[in-house]
Structure 1
């Protein structure tokens, strides 16, 4: 089960210290609900990453700071640096999400 981001300090700590994929989402977002059922499979396939859900409405300033202007979107960090982003307002498929994460380790 994906954990939820508690605060901006946690975001900064995880980004600096872990291989982490942040999923930006919102309760009202139908495309976010569409991918919810597939995310446990994605998390299981990429167990080397910590997956963290970020509520866009709760962390709007963080979204602005990180240029996250569509949801669902993914932002990945590795070794303290941004490793990649899959940011758009389009509906994402499991294949697209897995391809994004696979290419992070390339």
Structure 2
């Protein structure tokens, strides 16, 4: 049975196949990053945080676009803006520990 030899280029490719992930992981840890999370983010495998919005009512964007700019619509938008700012401040306050 004839034995095949590996060329220099194929040896380089096999070496890089094993060495590059190890080097990347080391560089990412050195820079304070999580290499596994980075790769999952590139591949779209990361899961966003689940936020409980059961009490939030979000009107559709089309309803604002089609409605004329009346005083009531402006007031609704201001109230929604204030509510969202309070929710954001509450969420940032709990995670700022």
> TM tier, shorter chain?
under 0.3
Please identify which structure carries the higher helix content. Answer: 2
Q: Which has the larger radius of gyration?
A: 2
Please identify which structure carries the higher strand content. Answer: 1
Give the structure-2-normalised TM-score: 0.21
Give the structure-1-normalised TM-score: 0.20
